[in-house]
A and B are shown apart, each in its own frame.
Chain A
Amino acid sequence: MPVDLIKERYTTKVGEVVLGATKAEGGTRSQTITVGGDSTLPFLHFEGEVPNRPVIAMEVQNMVPEWSPEVTKNFKDVIGDPAAWAAKCVKEYGADLIYLKLNGADPERGNASPEDCAETVKKVLGAVGVPLIVVGCGVEEKDNEVLPAVAEAAAGENLLLGVAKQDNYKTLTAACMVHKHCIIAQSPIDINIAKQLNILISEMNLPISRIVIDPSVGALGYGIEYTYSIMERIRIGALTGDKMLSMPVICAIGYEAARAKEANAGIDQFPGWGELAERALLWEAMTSAAFLQAGGHIFVLRHPRSVALVKQSIGQLMIK
């Protein structure tokens, strides 16, 4: 007798967000990227649609970052030049998007002016055809000057701009409204704040089809399970009628995975853990693999080999 399979019938689905804009749409991207739209839990093709595969954004900065040599050795030729760096990520490593972190705007890391930052964004836009994610340096006062300048300079490009937080979302939301960009709404591993922030942003009339949730990810071995469960609950919320949890999810993994001791400590320090090179790339890839199962849509990575590995994994999971 055939087994009577359980196919859940969900009432709603994850919303779709379109990133980037082509010439016809008022931008200059060679193609747009759509994320979200899932009508089931991650990759359960037997009961719902996964219309858009999860995508990979590679991180680029407007300064020379103090990253592990395991990562920077791949970018030696381009690391001082965000445009060339971004181009390499797309051409050589197949990045779906570029995640440009304007860390150089930090008053303690070069203090690049809003105009400089906007110029960098323009240069990167000129160097690649893929849509762009642009985030600030994390110093709120500075980001509130930098991001509106970026939004204005790249008006019409439909960037994904971040990050908005519960106590600092108005400036960025307004900039996204006026210059037609999408926004990253970041919450500190807290589903209630995630929801609340989405409500606050939509109350300023930014449509929810232009919001992406950043639940704040932890790395493998460093609290990953907290975000994992929050993301599972966000997905279940999206599928069961909670509009304010229905946005696609971005996982800024590169930064977190790179902070893990396992991605940095040499075999001389921890002989039991084996060679660093493989550990460093796997730490990023395995963190990503875990979040693919929790419902992530955009994965921000740094390590070219982990990009390849995660892409391959997504390819396998997308086979019906």
Chain B
Amino acid sequence: MALTGLDIFKLLPRKNCNECGVPTCLAFAMALASGKASLEACPYVSEEAKEALGSAAAPPIRLVKIGAPGVDHEVELGDENVLFRHDKTFYHPAGVAVEVGDDLDAGALAARLAKIAELVFERVGQRYTVDLVAVRNVTGDPAKFAAAAKAVAEKTKLALMLVAEKPEALKAALDVVADRKPILAWGTPATADAVVALAKEKGCAVVLRGAGLDETANLVERIAKTGFKDIILDSGARETGKVLADLTQVRRLAIKKKFRPFGFPIAAFCAEKDPLAEMTQASVYMAKYASLIVIKAVERPQVLTLLTWRQNIYTDPQKPIQVEAKLNRIGEAGPKSPLYVTTNFSLTYYTVEGEVAASKVPSYILAINTEGTSVLTSYAAGKFTADAIADALKKFEVEKLVPSKEIVIPGYVAVLSGKLADVSGWKVIVGPREAAGIPAFAKERYGRSS
């Protein structure tokens, strides 16, 4: 069923207009064939070609956008191409939704929302946040559900999700928060027609839940036939091992077989009651293919670990995260402060920065452009050299800030010290091998002088 690049090329306008962002129609056809581009990028494609290419050219997993643009946090779910990150990368970090029950009284609801608002973390120069608030119809009462949805919408800028078994509850809540375009969960075989009708009217996505993969596939197929495509899957499983199995099958079938009913993002609802156990459960779904993870945990240490794991697993293996190569001032560094040099690989840099900060000795850190590689790797590759360090010392006029002309190099590259002293004219001090040794080193050598 999959078309080759050449099959697709024959159906394209062959204008080589470059408006899709790819230089030629042939290259665009190849990108379509490998699922890396979407036919919608071509402004000149004929209706007839669209029809023919439709399913073959679509990416294996559809991209579903959540949230009202400009109003709140926009979240992109799905559009993944591989089973293992080492095959390429995972593209769209799973959305994390925190649940809020409509059984909470006004005070408890406000307290919970305040906690959710605090789930914004700064670490290693990056900002992590949760993405959605999932309002859940615990009471079964549509009026209470609508009231809770309204209260939540007023207090959060995160994207919204409405979670209820009854379509009438979803309708009541959607009526008051329609402008936020919330995700509607769930549409089941019994309720999907009603829920999808609501979603079509307001431009929302729907979580379609079957009891098991077979029923889910049938339900999605039936709904997709009506032209509705903003679908998120839920196989109904809640035990960790079963969810893992279903998430794996859905991803495999979508990628390897282009099985259309599973070509959508998939949600995982955590079921563990203890919040710590819930985090280990969520970490499984984060690693293995969930596009949307619904949790109840709201304490910062808990959510920080999950979002850190998300950041890690969605890091592109081909592109190490880099920091700007420049001179950084840590604390109130002055003319007598130590100067450390390291690479611009973010992991390395922030580890060093963290330890330098922990040493409580105000300091400078010179980050050398090693194209985001660690000290030993960049040394081996000839990117962390005496010349590169000497050039950076000149470029950033470090001498003006550190008149002692004393520089601390990582212990692992002690071998650079002679050459660096020669080419730079600086006094080279060999520091500890591991960043963890910096506080002790700083205390010993610079403790009294600052």
Contact = CB atoms under 8 A, between A and B. Distances in A.
Contact of B302 (A43, A278, A312): A278
B259 to A, nearest CB: 8
A316 B239 contact: yes
B253 A229 contact: no
Interface residues of A, number: 51
Contact of B218 (A1, A224, A273): A1
A6 B249 contact: yes
Prevailing SS type, chain A contact patch: helix
A43 B248 CA distance: 11
B86 to A, nearest CB: 4
Contacts of A319: 239-242
A255 B279 CA distance: 21
B256 interface: yes
Contacts of B241: 43, 45, 316-320
Contacts of B239: 316, 319
A272 B300 contact: yes
B364 to A, nearest CB: 20
A46 interface: yes
A224 to B, nearest CB: 5
Interface stretch (B117-125, B194-202, B326-334, B420-428): B117-125
Interface stretch (A115-123, A124-132, A209-217, A285-293): A285-293
Nearest to A283: B305
A245 B241 CA distance: 26
User: Which of A6, A232, A279: most chain B Cβ within 10 A?
Assistant: A6
Interface stretch (B282-290, B393-401, B407-415): B282-290
Interface string A246-290: 000000000000010110010000001111101101110110011
Contact of A224 (B242, B280, B312): B312
B89 to A, nearest CB: 10
Contacts of B85: 225, 228-229, 232
A266 to B, nearest CB: 11
Contacts of B218: 1
B213 A220 contact: no
B301 interface: yes
B276 A261 contact: no
Contacts of B309: 220, 224, 286, 290
A279 B301 contact: yes
B277 interface: yes
Interface in B261-303: 261-262, 276-277, 279-281, 283-284, 287-288, 299-302
B86 A232 contact: yes
A238 to B, nearest CB: 15
Given A5-B249, A259-B436, A293-B287, A313 B305 contact: no
Nearest to B218: A1
B301 A273 contact: yes
A4 B417 CA distance: 63
A222 B348 CA distance: 9
A44 interface: yes
Contacts of A276: 301
B242 to A, nearest CB: 8
Contacts of A5: 213, 249, 253
Contacts of B249: 3, 5-6, 46
Contact of B301 (A274, A294, A312): A274
B317 interface: yes
B354 interface: yes
Contacts of A312: 277, 280
Interface size class of B (residues with CB under 8 A): 35 or more
B34 interface: no
Given A5-B249, A45-B245, A274-B304, A285 B284 contact: no
B347 A223 contact: yes
B257 interface: yes
Interface string A1-39: 111011000000000000000000000000000000000
B315 interface: yes
Given A3-B217, A225-B85, A316-B241, A275 B301 contact: yes
A247 to B, nearest CB: 20
A83 interface: no
Contacts of B287: 228, 290, 293-294
A282 B302 contact: yes
B281 A313 contact: yes
Contacts of A2: 214
A106 to B, nearest CB: 15
B300 A220 contact: no
A302 B242 CA distance: 30
Contacts of A43: 241, 244
B317 A225 contact: yes
B44 interface: no
A310 interface: yes
A278 B303 CA distance: 11
B222 to A, nearest CB: 12
A22 to B, nearest CB: 31
Nearest to A222: B347
Contacts of B311: 221
Contact of A44 (B122, B248, B351): B248
A128 to B, nearest CB: 27
A273 B308 contact: no
A41 to B, nearest CB: 8
Given A43-B244, A290-B287, A293-B283, 7 more contacts: A3-B249, A221-B124, A223-B347, A273-B121, A309-B280, A313-B284, A317-B241
15 contacts: A1-B217, A3-B259, A6-B257, A41-B248, A229-B317, A232-B86, A273-B121, A282-B279, A285-B276, A286-B309, A293-B284, A316-B239, A317-B241, A317-B244, A319-B239
Interface of B: 84-86, 118, 120-124, 213-214, 217-218, 239-242, 244-245, 248-249, 252-253, 256-257, 259, 261-262, 276-277, 279-281, 283-284, 287-288, 299-302, 304-306, 308-309, 311-313, 315, 317, 347, 351, 354, 358, 436
